[in-house]
Amino acid sequence: MALVDQWNGIESGLDPSWHDARLVLTVVDEARAERAAALLGPASPGRSGRTIRFFTARGGVGVGPEAVRRMLRRIDADGIEGTLELVSSDEAPPAPQLARPTLAAEWDAALAVLPGDWSDLLGELELTSTDYLPNAALLIGPLNPLSVEGKPGFRFRVASSFGYGAAPGMVRRCLARLDEAGIPGHVHVLRVLSDTHPVGTQGPVWYVGGKAV
C-alpha cells in the first residue's frame, strides 16, 4: 500500500480533536532510507537504519497533516516502499472557558457608573431564550416586571430612595435568584434620571413605544 494511503488511514482513525501525532516509517530497502529521510526533511526526521521517526501537528507547531501527505506522495513517486505506523498522538487541550458575569455582578457594574445623585432608572433584563421567561418572571416578581416586545426579557423601574420602583438592593436580590437558578442573560440600564423631586406623584413617567412605563 502506498505510504500516502497508509497516512490517510492513520489520520482517519485519530480522535477528531487530535493535536499532534508521532509516526515511524520503516523503509523496506535500507539503501533508500537516507533518500526517504531527505524527502521528509521539513519534518526534521530522526533516522536509525531503516527506521525514520517524525512528528506532525495541527495548529502551527511543526509540519501539518497536509504537508505530511505531500512528502509521502514524493516518497511514493520515488518508488520507496515502507510501512508507516502511528506511535502515539495527543488531543488538543480544551479551550479555556470564559466565566460569564453573573446578572448580580452586571447590576453592580451598571450602578457603579451612574452619577451619585441618580434617583430613577428604567432597567431591562434580556434573557438568552424564551424558555426561561416563566421561571424568570416568578423570580423577579417583586420588581413588577413588564414584558419586552420582540425579545425575551422584562423591563423594570428602580428608585434609589423614594418614589415608584424597586429598591436597588431588591433588584440585586432578584437577579441573584436568577443566577442561582442558572438562568442566563444580561441586565441593562436603559434610562436614568438624577435628583428628581416628585410632587403629588410617585415619580417620573417614561414613554417607550407609545406606552407609559
Using the predicted structure, report yes or no on whether residue 165 has a pLDDT greater than 80. yes
Question: pLDDT (tens digit, 9 = 90+) per residue, 39-64?
Answer: 999 998 999 999 999 999 987 667 89
Q: Domain coordinates of the chain in residue numbers?
A: 3-91, 103-195
- Let me know: does 77 contact 4? Beta carbons within 8 Å: no
Mean pLDDT throughout 34-39? 94
Mean pLDDT throughout 147-170? 88
CATH fold match for the domains 3-91 and 103-195: yes
Higher pLDDT, 94 or 162: 162
CATH of region 3-91: 3.30.70
In this predicted structure, what is the pLDDT of residue 207? 62
- pTM to 2 decimals? 0.51
Residues 135-141: contacts with CB within 8 Å, 24+ apart?
135/181, 135/183, 136/178, 136/183, 136/185, 139/174, 139/177, 139/178, 139/181, 139/183, 140/174, 140/175, 140/177, 140/178, 141/174
Question: pLDDT (tens digit, 9 = 90+) per residue, 65-85?
Answer: 999 999 999 999 999 999 999
CATH of 103-195, one of 3.30.70, 3.40.50, 1.10.3470, 3.30.67: 3.30.70
User: How does DSSP classify residue 24?
Assistant: E
Write the single-letter amino acid at 98.
Answer: L
Question: pLDDT (tens digit, 9 = 90+) per residue, 95-148?
Answer: 566 667 899 999 999 999 988 888 899 999 999 999 999 999 999 999 999 998
Question: pLDDT (tens digit, 9 = 90+) per residue, 177-213?
Answer: 999 999 999 999 998 888 766 655 556 666 666 666 6
